[in-house]
Structure 1
Amino acid sequence: MKYSELNLDPRLNTAIEKLNYVEATAIQEQTIPHILSGKDVAGLAQTGTGKTAAFLIPLIERILRTQNEPTHERAFKDWHARSFILILVPTRELAEQINDNVIKLTDGCGLKSFPLYGGTGYDKQKEALQSGLSFVVSTPGRLIDLYKENHVDLKQVKAVVFDEADRMFDMGFKDDMKYILSRIPRERQFLVFSATLNFDVLNTAYQFGAEPVEINISRDQAKAENVKDYIMHIGHEEKPQNLLSILKKENPKQAMIFTNFKHNVDRISAFLMDNQIPAMGISSLMSQGQRNNVIEKFKAENDQNILVATDVAARGLDINGVDLVVNFEMPQDAESYVHRIGRTGRAGREGKAYSLICDRDIDSLSRVEEYTKKKIETVFLEDEELIKEFTPFRREEASLRNRFDRAQKGGRGGPRQERDARGGDRQDRRPKGGKRFEGPRQDAPAGASAARGPVEGAPRGHRHNNKGRDQKDFRGRQHKDQGGPAAPQHQNRPPKPAHATSPAASGNTAAQNRIKLPNKGRNFRNNAPSKRQPVAQTSFSQKVKSFFQKIFG
């Protein structure tokens, strides 16, 4: 079906011709007549099949019709009394892309559109809503925020569109969708487009009074018709080499490389840059401003642009110039595969998609082939097409360098020093293959007279921690170098005999000459007074005597 056969408004026809739209796609041909007649529609459509135009063109036409001549037909009941069309999407990028499509299709029609999403300021969005909009493209969260602040009136919605509704449910927007629908008049037109028309999507539609016409494009038609997809069975460690070889062979002007992991985005883009291939990455780890800048650079007309992305970050990217897609890893679900390869082969252009398959991807490949009901063609690169010399991933190179540095400098995996100089050699460590090194030491009394406690030269495990107390001793007195009296010298302190009450009574010379340690009654960990009270020591014979006295009186 050609657009010229739809008898559209001349202003809309002019915009369509500027976009070089001639014939309607399968989803457009089946959807547009139902939407023009005012019916609710639930359509299955994958990325790259023209689903955005499938609902935008008839909605724009309905607005232009009511502007020219108000109608009282049942399908257009209360249409002229409402002020805007609401399009709900799961991601910011998709909101931007659909808003761009609205602007292009309404060129010369006098209709305004604006995207609403989080990660940006409220001021511009509030101003746009106050100026009067024909289309509002929004994520659920930001719309609810603006609604609660009375900046948007959901009672003025003419029609509501849920694009990629399955993704919205997967991302946890189910409650938000119900919250919004419960505040929109039941007379509105309800349109929902999804990769899969599952129970949750249809049940939500029925729950809020919609009776949608179900349009289910077959899976063979759902895949972009102009895309040739291939798989390459290789080892996991061979993926970087084959990725470079594919890019060299195809020499695309714009290409997208998909990975399943956020941390791989920067790795792959840096790997390509190191091999003189311009590339940029986009992931959910980036701020909204950074993501917008990357998208604008990717759209720019340069010699070659390559974008590395995850599925979530690439949702809604509508770029017609992409001529190559490479799956560095096979997606976990079949719908994502169709979304990925649908980034190429748009607007009548031909595109190619390669998937690098290793042992880890076999299960995912089986799910994709079962879903599409098609055996994907297997190809191999000739030996002369493989790049032999290239710079490896930075992570692999850094890992080897760090191991060498640790072996030279100590630290993890190497000998260590004392606490104040971590990462080096420890003087009392055991040399390899020999006896423990004791080092020079002073003569010390043995047995009960041996040195105990947190004093210089004490065994490991009894050394107190002076970290954070370099300027004061345990009693808070200033050291000599800070202008106060000199801190006391810690000397060896033998244990107090159980029967002695004083140094003189004990007859122990070492006990008589000892100096009381300044940390008595203190907590070594935080230098605070200890809650434990000192208990007088009692000999075993005294304990036995006390026990029998309590029993026999």
Structure 2
Amino acid sequence: MSSEQTTSSFNELGLNDAILRAVTECGYTTPTPVQQQAIPVVLAGHDLLAGAQTGTGKTAGFTLPLLHKLSAQKPAGKPAIRALILTPTRELAAQVEDNLNTYAKYTGLKSLVIFGGVGINPQIDKLRRGVDILVATPGRLLDHCRQGTLDLSKVEVLVLDEADRMLDMGFIHDIKKVLKLVPAKRQTLLFSATFSDEIKALSKQFLTEPKHIEVARRNATADRIEQRVFPVDKKRKRELLSYLIGSRNWRQVLVFTRTKHGANRLATQLTDDGLPALAIHGNKSQAARTKALAQFKAGKLRVLVATDIAARGIDIDELPHVVNYELPQVAEDYVHRIGRTGRAGSEGEAISLVCIDEHKLLRDIERVTKNKIPEELVPGYEVDPSIKAEPLQNGRGQRSQGGGQGRNQSGRGGNAGRAGGGQRRDSQNSRSGAGSGRRNSR
């Protein structure tokens, strides 16, 4: 792992004037830790394995040096794809390409984003005119490759962004296919929020003597995020959420559910409560997802309800509130969720509505984050001590997480519940939420 530098200005990183001009116009003066460490490594031509949580500025950490390298030597004639950036979701692909357009403003380099859910012919037309940098989701990229509408033989830099999520979504085989289509002699940059065994194995297989950087302790949560747990009976979660948003005048709230169906239902209920809300998930059309996200970013939509996969790539400056309406099945996803607030020096609030079924999930999260999350009891929403824990549906992976069987919710005690007979249908629905993301993100 490389040691952290103390660069105080982008001017000290060796980027060319055209890029620095664009960065300055964005109002950025001081690089984030991941940018301080990644940019010199990429400029030096090394392969890179980088651990960076959402909201750390990692996109600029690879796009800025990538633009510098490509603009330093621009071949004559029609542009060829010299850099390929793979992302797990449409939203993240669009976000990366939007950043590229901003930073490449004065370089003359052309970029294009391609993903599924929209027509392929306009993408083919743009590819024929030539692009320097291609941002893509794996499925749609391979569609183009099968149709012979793009050429990856000139790729000099390959970026795998949020590689951990791509593996979670089942893209490993697609990634391997893509890696066979790009030149063996290339620079490869792999960015991941966590360094799982699978990520380490992937890096050993496809990276050459990579430099390693990690800007935050694995599974660490941001210091500027105030985290709290609100104990509540499961049947009163929606009522409590509406009360909190209304009584505390929360104006921009990102809410997480475990399933697509749950996201739809909650968005409808909140809207009925007088709190304008929309849901985004893999079954929504790309147009609907883009519209909902744009309204939310602009402050025209008070609540955005999202599943984990659909929310990947959401990048909103100064997002004040993230709510875990349901705790995630996998503790590490809690870190991804709450990392969408408390960004770029801003303070944020992450709250979790926790029923007795979720006590084990909460203990797992506290163990992973090494942080005891304080509780807040809301008068009028005291838990019913007679309610017993019920099994939770399975989520990503094959593990079954139960809640505590203890009689008092705020005590978080008890043993894991046993999976019941009604679990199979729910687990299939939930798995479709993660697995179908592979199809829907194409």
Give TM-score, length-normalised by structure 1.
Answer: 0.64
Please state how far the C-alpha of 1:241 moved relative to its aligned partner.
Answer: 2.4
Partner letter of residue 60 of structure 1? L
Please state how far the C-alpha of 1:374 moved relative to its aligned partner.
Answer: 1.6
State the alpha-carbon separation in 2 of the partners of residues 308 and 209 from structure 1: 37
Whether 2:336 is the aligned partner of 1:339: answer yes
Aligned to 2:288: 290
Please state how far the C-alpha of 1:88 moved relative to its aligned partner.
Answer: 0.5
Aligned to 2:395: none
Please state how far the C-alpha of 1:102 moved relative to its aligned partner.
Answer: 1.1
Whether 2:60 is the aligned partner of 1:53: answer yes
Partner letter of residue 7 of structure 1? G
Aligned to 1:109: 107
Aligned residues: 373
Please state how far the C-alpha of 1:343 moved relative to its aligned partner.
Answer: 1.4
The equivalences for 1:85-234 within 5 A come to 85-208=83-206, 210-219=208-217, 222-234=220-232
Please state how far the C-alpha of 1:10 moved relative to its aligned partner.
Answer: 1.8
Partner-residue secondary structure (3-state), 1:186: coil
Partner-residue secondary structure (3-state), 1:157: coil
Aligned to 2:40: 33
Cα gap change, 1:376 to 1:115, in 2 (>3 Å): same
Query: Which 5+ residue runs of structure 2 have no aligned equivalent?
Result: 1-6, 382-442
Asked if the contact 1:254–1:321 (Cα under 8 Å) also holds between the matched residues in 2, the reply is no
State the alpha-carbon separation in 2 of the partners of residues 373 and 91 from structure 1: 29
Please state how far the C-alpha of 1:331 moved relative to its aligned partner.
Answer: 0.8
Please state how far the C-alpha of 1:220 moved relative to its aligned partner.
Answer: 6.8
Partner-residue secondary structure (3-state), 1:330: coil
State the alpha-carbon separation in 2 of the partners of residues 100 and 360 from structure 1: 41
State the alpha-carbon separation in 2 of the partners of residues 193 and 167 from structure 1: 10
The equivalences for 1:68-467 within 5 A come to 83-208=81-206, 210-219=208-217, 222-302=220-300, 304-382=301-379
Please state how far the C-alpha of 1:86 moved relative to its aligned partner.
Answer: 0.4
> Once structures 1 and 2 are overlaid, which stretch shifts more, 225-234 or 360-369?
225-234
State the 4+ residue runs in structure 1 displaced beyond 4 angstroms: none
- Alpha-carbon displacement from aligned partner over 1:456-475 (angstroms, at most 9, x marks no partner): xxxxxxxxxxxxxxxxxxxx
Partner letter of residue 92 of structure 1? R
Partner-residue secondary structure (3-state), 1:355: strand
Give TM-score, length-normalised by structure 2.
Answer: 0.79
Please state how far the C-alpha of 1:288 moved relative to its aligned partner.
Answer: 2.0
Please state how far the C-alpha of 1:321 moved relative to its aligned partner.
Answer: 4.2
Partner-residue secondary structure (3-state), 1:313: helix
Partner letter of residue 379 of structure 1? E
Asked if the contact 2:71–2:109 (Cα under 8 Å) also holds between the matched residues in 1, the reply is no
Cα gap change, 1:23 to 1:180, in 2 (>3 Å): same
- Alpha-carbon displacement from aligned partner over 1:279-310 (angstroms, at most 9, x marks no partner): 111122222222222222222343x5210111
Please state how far the C-alpha of 1:108 moved relative to its aligned partner.
Answer: 2.5
Partner-residue secondary structure (3-state), 2:126: helix
State the alpha-carbon separation in 2 of the partners of residues 56 and 247 from structure 1: 37
State the alpha-carbon separation in 2 of the partners of residues 344 and 217 from structure 1: 17
> Once structures 1 and 2 are overlaid, which stretch shifts more, 140-149 or 341-350?
341-350
Please state how far the C-alpha of 1:222 moved relative to its aligned partner.
Answer: 4.8
- Alpha-carbon displacement from aligned partner over 1:490-540 (angstroms, at most 9, x marks no partner): xxxxxxxxxxxxxxxxxxxxxxxxxxxxxxxxxxxxxxxxxxxxxxxxxxx
Asked if the contact 1:226–1:349 (Cα under 8 Å) also holds between the matched residues in 2, the reply is yes
Partner-residue secondary structure (3-state), 1:185: coil
State the alpha-carbon separation in 2 of the partners of residues 135 and 185 from structure 1: 15
Identity of aligned residues (%): 40
State the alpha-carbon separation in 1 of the partners of residues 138 and 218 from structure 2: 32
Q: How large is the RMSD of aligned CA atoms in angstroms?
A: 2.3
Partner letter of residue 37 of structure 1? A
Q: Which has the higher contact order (CA 8 A, sep 6+)?
A: 2
Partner letter of residue 24 of structure 2? E
State the alpha-carbon separation in 1 of the partners of residues 18 and 220 from structure 2: 30
Whether 2:27 is the aligned partner of 1:20: answer yes
Partner-residue secondary structure (3-state), 1:378: coil
Partner letter of residue 296 of structure 2? F
Asked if the contact 2:83–2:156 (Cα under 8 Å) also holds between the matched residues in 1, the reply is yes
Please state how far the C-alpha of 1:114 moved relative to its aligned partner.
Answer: 1.4
State the alpha-carbon separation in 1 of the partners of residues 64 and 248 from structure 2: 35
Please state how far the C-alpha of 1:253 moved relative to its aligned partner.
Answer: 3.0
- Alpha-carbon displacement from aligned partner over 1:55-80 (angstroms, at most 9, x marks no partner): 11111122233349x9xxxxxxxxxx
Partner-residue secondary structure (3-state), 1:339: helix
Partner-residue secondary structure (3-state), 2:279: strand
Please state how far the C-alpha of 1:230 moved relative to its aligned partner.
Answer: 1.3
- Alpha-carbon displacement from aligned partner over 1:291-335 (angstroms, at most 9, x marks no partner): 222222222343x52101111111111122421111101111122
Please state how far the C-alpha of 1:354 moved relative to its aligned partner.
Answer: 0.6
Cα gap change, 1:283 to 1:83, in 2 (>3 Å): closer
Please state how far the C-alpha of 1:89 moved relative to its aligned partner.
Answer: 0.9
Cα gap change, 1:287 to 1:107, in 2 (>3 Å): same
Please state how far the C-alpha of 1:125 moved relative to its aligned partner.
Answer: 0.7
Please state how far the C-alpha of 1:209 moved relative to its aligned partner.
Answer: 5.3
State the alpha-carbon separation in 2 of the partners of residues 222 and 136 from structure 1: 32
Asked if the contact 2:113–2:134 (Cα under 8 Å) also holds between the matched residues in 1, the reply is yes
Please state how far the C-alpha of 1:223 moved relative to its aligned partner.
Answer: 3.0
- Alpha-carbon displacement from aligned partner over 1:7-54 (angstroms, at most 9, x marks no partner): 322221122122222222222222221111110001111111211111
Partner letter of residue 339 of structure 2? G
